[in-house]
Amino acid sequence: MTITVNGQLHSWAEQSLSVREILDRLSFSFPLIVVRIDGQLVSKADYDSARVPDGAVLEAIHLISGG
């Protein structure tokens, strides 16, 4: 599968991966991440079950809090 993550092309041998698997493979470990697949928001509770299809555009946005 080949997908675009935050504007960069990534390829894996698998035909589909979950959001969690992609975040782990790309070492996204931030506690506050918002994920969209082809513009659709994915709930954090669904990261393990939401499958990312071949050709998808995934956006992983790290939220920063401060004061």
Would you state the structure tokens that stand for residue 21, as one six-digit string?
């698997």
Phi (first) and psi of residue 63, to 5 degrees: -90, 135
Strands (E), 1-67: 2-5, 8-11, 17-18, 33-37, 40-42, 51-52, 57-62
Residue 1's CB is within 10 A of a number of other CB atoms, namely: 16
pLDDT at 67: 62
What are the sequence ranges of the domains in the chain?
A: 2-62
Mean pLDDT, consecutive 10-residue stretches, the chain (67 aa), reads 96 94 92 94 96 96 80
Q: Which CATH superfamily is domain 2-62 in?
A: Beta-grasp domain (3.10.20.30)
pTM of the model: 0.89
